[in-house]
Structure 1
């Protein structure tokens, strides 16, 4: 039995979308990103070969009790299938370099930077939706990230993000 069942999927470098590594994807979205069927992802998860899934314990309950995958975990798992390492901290720094360079060189924890980014993104998103220019994040990045933000599961109250760093 192949110990890395997904290794053949990643012979070519993947063209990963621009998305914060801490955001969550549904099982269906994760399977589409990996270019596999959701049943294959489910099978890997059961056998212990697939990327780590997160239960919706802090999220509003939905029908079927879905599982979510952290985007950074998927990328790290794909890199490991090729024998490389791409830790979530490195993914966060790379993301901040491309979208919000002020946070890339700053001091503090990754979790603190994530909170600052989320707050600033929300403010700039509201401005862009009103037709104004954002203060810190480029309008194109806001539009590109907004596609994925709309799909984020909603949290109950002020519970911490699942898989937050």
Structure 2
């Protein structure tokens, strides 16, 4: 696992020890960023269920201004910290060592809108995808926000979360990526 492109291109990233997380492969990550980017001119990224922090770090490397990394697992938080240090991105990151629902409440305190949101909970925990709707209700997402949900290809996510509609789904082996954008009224 490594940073694919941008300022930190080629830097290897640590995986979270143990079997509680499954890192997004470099192939899937590269495809994802080719669809949503590939580069950014500033903005805020939130990596819910961050694991190693790979997705948020990739977004920072490609031009996002600041990233919020959410994970309640102690080993994941330590790994995120180490990966941010290795990439020299600590000053552009905030780690929230909280349950995702509590982190959403904490994110409500920031004054910036989220430009890019990654939602990658444990695959059997479909209820966590509804956090997209909660973030929308809290007015933390804007009309230009891109939401990327990673899930098992056998799980079909809802067509909409609040004002966000699925505009594209891509399958990579057992992994599916569903992309949501603000629905025009």
TM-score, L = length of structure 2: 0.26
More strand by share: 2
TM-score, L = length of structure 1: 0.28
More helix by share: 1
Larger Rg computed on CA atoms? 1
